[in-house]
Structure 1
Amino acid sequence: MSEIINLRQAKKRRARAEKEAQAAANRTKFGRTKGTRKKAEAERAKAERELSGKKLDAEKLERD
């Protein structure tokens, strides 16, 4: 004789497993390693520093 199962619980268990599989796929597809995140942050900070160094000050323009 087979074991009696609750269909509602079985559906929820299957849905959780599918969501976990999708989450694992998304982590590998969209996830970035710590090294790549740090590199991107460093590049962004460098670009911001370079840009702010090239900005003209309003006070400096008024004096000239």
Structure 2
Amino acid sequence: MSDVINLNKARKARQRERDKTQAAQNRVTFGLPGHLRRAAREDEARRDRQLDGQKRQDVDKSENG
């Protein structure tokens, strides 16, 4: 036979796990000092600019015929 489980306890345990995951993500996101967050944003912006500069230009459709 199967074991009887308390659905309320199972629901609360599942919520605790979600909260732990969210807390870990928040620690990573908001746990950095301001100057490191700014540096990370600047690095991301620089990567985006570099990637945009390397994109191929679309050829005008009227030239292809």
TM-score interval, normalised by the smaller of the two chains: 0.3 to 0.5
> Which has more helix, going by share of residues?
1
Rg (Cα) greater in structure = 1
